[in-house]
Amino acid sequence: MKQEKGILDFFLIESADLVNVLEQGFLALESNPDDLSKVEDLFRAAHSMKGSAALVRLHPISELAHKMEDLLEEVKDRRRPVSKPLIDWFLKALDVIKSLLKKASEGKPLPEEPVRVLQEEIQALHIVRPVKTTAVVERKEYDRGREEGELLSNMLRVRIDIIDEIMNKIGDLTVIKSHLLGRKKVIEELRGEVAFALSRLLKEVGDFTDRYAFSLPEKVSYVDPLLTEFRELEFDRYDELNLFTRKLQEITNDINEGLKSIEEFLAEITTHFSNIDRSLKEIRELLSEARTVEVGRLFQRFVRTVRDLASVEGKKVRLLVKGTETRIDKVPYERLYEPLLHLIRNAITHGIEPPQERRRKGKPEEGTIVLYCKRKGNTIEIYIKDDGRGIDLEKVREMAVKMGIFSSGQKITKKQLLRCIFHPGFSTMQKAALEAGRGIGLDVVREALAEINGTVEVATKKDQGTVFRLRFPVTLVVVNVVRFEVGGMEFVVPSSLVEELSELDVSRQPVQTSYRGLTARIRYLDRVFGMYTSAQSPRRPAIVVKDGSDMPVLLVVDSLLGQEDTLIKPLPRFIEGIGYYTGVSVSTEGKVRLVINPLTVVERPEHTTHSRFIPVALKQREKAILVVDDSLSVRKALTETLQMNQTRVITATNGLEALNIIDENWVDMVITDLEMPVMHGYELLREMNRRGLLGKLPVIIITSRGSDKHRDKALSFGIQEYIVKPFDHEELRQKVRSLLNLTT
């Protein structure tokens, strides 16, 4: 039973290809009835479907394909002319086959009635049975079998769900690789810390050696048990200090050699990581290619639509397709059919004029719709262009004002008007003038593109036509993303949708700004998401995107966290349909991050108040404690001490680094040493005071300087606590809880 199911699956895959070949060929034959060069290909397709359907016991399909084969044989032998009734019958038969294939895929029985009706219509077409010689039949069957064997020797059918599962595993490996790369950075930082500590030790040893290298006391005492068997004159006269310095030098040399070995190890690991990364990319590209489909197969599905709809509308329309060899991922291949169908229907119904109107405008009676696809870097672009009347912008303006999108006296640009047609519920259709305007349900088109992390743009010119451009990533499984944080939560956005990363002064909360000579809109994602911002600096990072026109939009975030390749998975069912999000991604630390589509974010209103649906964990945001000390051991000890409920620790090695962290992150408390390189503790306090931060952030000094002079100087800045090392860890925790108002 399982074997029969597997054979049926393969047949259904093959039959989809055969149906596409037949439909494309029948329509081409209708366009040029005298060109019979492709009839042999149609005959073979019908023959293959007949045999394969019989093999899986789908006899109604087999019988219908057999009738097609007979008719095509007559056409090929020029015993039956190509006529419109014949092409209509072929296309009707294909529709029946499609219906039967769908029932077969659902495990339902196949009805005989549609086939019987078509057989009666065949009789009405006066079929003439061809006379075949056995030799000819045997030769053709042999040639066909040989050609199919040669073709299959290079091909192997693989179920798409297996490829998807492999792609998921590749995505998991990519996440693991990113995690290991992150850990490598930690090792490199640790090596830097050890190297810095070594340099301090070497300096101290050097200074010590310079002071005591030639000091020989009158009385030398040998305390090393290894030297007791030697007499005084049998070795150099060094005292305990001299021996101690030499041992320290040897130890530091050993540490230095160890660091060199670590550097060599890291260099080797880096090379291996690069090789792994390259291999993963190559495997991913190969598997991505395996799950791609030539876009021409998608475009071909609309040839019939254009033919039939143009006939219903009483118009003459020609469909031109370009870039058909471009390959796209199976997900957009499946999800783009409805959006493209919608745009093509709009183009025929509302864009292309009737023949008489086109004649009055000096246009050819036959209108043209062009479907064009190309790959541009890591994105795919599909253009739908018509040479019709264009979008009636005046009607768009009237409807936009009526819907309250704009006020009646407001100055509205063409680009702003064109954005309106994607607004939910927007339509210019009127009962009195059904042929006027466009834009019916175009929000559905935009939402469909958003689901595949894509965008849609439109341009139009009166009486010259309209063009829509759809853009989406080449692959939708493992993609490069920009990571950012808003309200203490991490999000990602596909890099293919990002124009640029920038920075913005938000101290006055502007709603627009000048960006590269253009007027750009500003959206604050903390408001859009209804969250509390975690940024304190007046300068905040911004992600620059396009909103479907040439007008840039700056999405203001709390902080940018970098870029990475990651695995994107569909949204869980319980949160499907949330407009902002198109999937989820797992970080290298195992955190789940929502994937946003900036186009949907741009069109959504900002929240005037913070959302009451913010998770409890977000409302009780962890308090961030910044620890500033140049000693690795001290930073590690403080980090372990302060890792309590409701807290997280950020570290810096000097005052300047601490100021940079404060600029880019939400910080609730600073714990700092006084003696540090680059910028010491007093300088840090002075700069924080200048910025007005000391009145907002509690500060604790932890230092080895215990004199009243040092204490008084620190307290003069308004700090909360001054602690001399060594300190009591539990006492420090209690002070931190008290200053941050934390529950125990």
Helices and strands of the chain, counted as H and E runs? 23, 22
* Co-location of 320 and 469 in the same domain: yes
Question: For 430-479, how does the pLDDT look when each residue is reduced to its tens digit (9 = 90+)?
Answer: 543 333 334 446 888 887 887 787 888 899 999 999 999 998 888 776 77
**Residue 326: per-residue pLDDT:** 92
Classify 646 as helix, strand or coil. coil
Q: Is residue 225 part of a domain?
A: no
Domain co-membership, 301 together with 435 = yes
> Residue 499: which CATH number?
2.30.30.40
Identify whether residues 388 and 341 lie together within a single domain.
yes
> Is 305 found in the same domain as 256?
no
Residue 69 exposure: Cα atoms within 13 Å on the Cβ side: 15
Rounded distance, CA 673 to CA 658, Å? Answer: 12
What is the spatial distance between Cα 271 and Cα 520, in angstroms, rounded to a whole number?
A: 43
* End residue of a domain, out of 270, 290, 310: 290
DSSP string, 302-321: HHHHHHHHHHHHT-EEEEEE
How many distinct structural domains can be found in the chain?
5
pTM: predicted TM-score of the whole model, two decimal places: 0.57
Residue 228 domain flag:
no
Do 349 and 405 share a domain, yes or no? yes
- DSSP-derived secondary structure for 68-82: HHHHHHHHHTTSS--
* Residue at which a domain ends, from 130, 152, 174: 152
What span, in angstroms and rounded, lies between the C-alpha atoms of 125 and 122? 5
Residue 233 is assigned to a structural domain of this protein: no
Alpha carbon separation from 222 to 205, 210, 218, 240, 251 (Å, rounded):
21, 22, 13, 7, 21
Does residue 493 belong to any structural domain of this protein?
yes
Whether residues 583 and 671 fall in one domain: no
Alpha-carbon distance of 69 to 51, in angstroms, equals: 11
Residues near 266 by beta carbon (within 8 Å), at least 6 away in sequence: 184, 187, 188, 191
183 in a structural domain: yes
From the list 670, 643, 646, 640, the residue with the least C-alpha distance to 658 is: 670
Please give the mean pLDDT across all residues of the chain.
78
Show the domain range for 667.
Answer: 622-740
With a cut of 50, list the residues of the chain below it in pLDDT. 1-3, 127-156, 216, 219-238, 431-440, 608-620
CA 418 from chain centre, in angstroms, equals 26
In three-state secondary structure terms, 185 is helix
* Nearest-angstrom CA–CA distance, 742 and 744: 6
Name 429's Cβ contacts closer than 8 Å, sequence gap at least 6. Answer: 436, 437, 440
Q: Per residue, what are the HEC states of 241-297?
A: HHHHHHHHHHHHHHHHHHHHHHHHHHHHHHHHHHHHHHHHHHHHHHHHHHCEEEHHH
In 3-state terms, what secondary structure has residue 593? strand
Q: Do residues 596 and 582 lie in contact, with contact meaning Cβ atoms separated by under 8 Å?
A: yes
For residue 367, the number of C-alpha atoms closer than 13 Å in the C-beta half-sphere is 35
Instruction: Specify the pLDDT at position 228.
Output: 47
Find where tokens 């009526």 sit: 402
The verdict on 419 and 490 lying in the same domain is no
**Dist. CA 193–CA 717, nearest whole Å:** 30
The β-bridge partners of 346 are none
* 252 shares its domain with 281: yes
Measured distance CA(493)–CA(209) in Å, rounded: 57
**Residues 472, 650: contact at Cβ < 8 Å?**
no
Residue closest to 681 by CA, chosen among 664, 663, 656, 644: 656
Same domain, 634 and 611: no
Residue 192 lies in a domain: yes
Helix (H) or strand (E) holding 359, with range, is: helix 355-360
* N-term to C-term CA, the chain: 63
Contact between residue 356 and residue 367 where contact means Cβ atoms under 8 Å apart: no
520/627 same-domain check = no
Whether 231 is in a domain gets the answer no
Q: What is the pLDDT of residue 495?
A: 85
Residue 258 lies in a domain: yes
Owner of token pair 């913070």? 610
Contact assessment for residue 568 and residue 585, using Cβ atoms and an 8 Å cutoff: yes
645/663 same-domain check:
yes
Q: Which of 572, 596, 615 is the last residue of a domain?
A: 615
Angle at 182 between CA 176 and CA 185, to 5 degrees: 145
Strand partners, 595: 492, 583
State the CATH number of the domain containing residue 354: 3.30.565.10
Instruction: Identify the CA nearest to 97 among candidates 63, 47, 69.
Output: 63
Asked if residue 728 and residue 715 are part of one domain, the reply reads yes
Res 723: pLDDT: 92
Token pair of 601 as six digits: 């974010």
Name the token pair of 662: 């404060």
Rounded CA Rg of the chain: 37
Report the distance separating Cα 531 and Cα 607, nearest Å.
9
Q: How far apart are CA 72 and CA 82, in angstroms?
A: 10
Query: 137-181 pLDDT, tens per residue?
Result: 333 434 433 333 333 334 445 666 666 677 677 767 777 777 777
Reduced to 3 states (helix: H, G, I; strand: E, B; else coil), residue 1 is coil
From residue 50, alpha-carbon distances to 74, 98, 151, 581 in Å are 17, 14, 19, 46
CATH number at residue 131: 1.20.120.160
The rounded distance, in Å, linking the Cα atoms of 154 and 283 is: 19
User: What is the structure's pLDDT at 194?
Assistant: 73
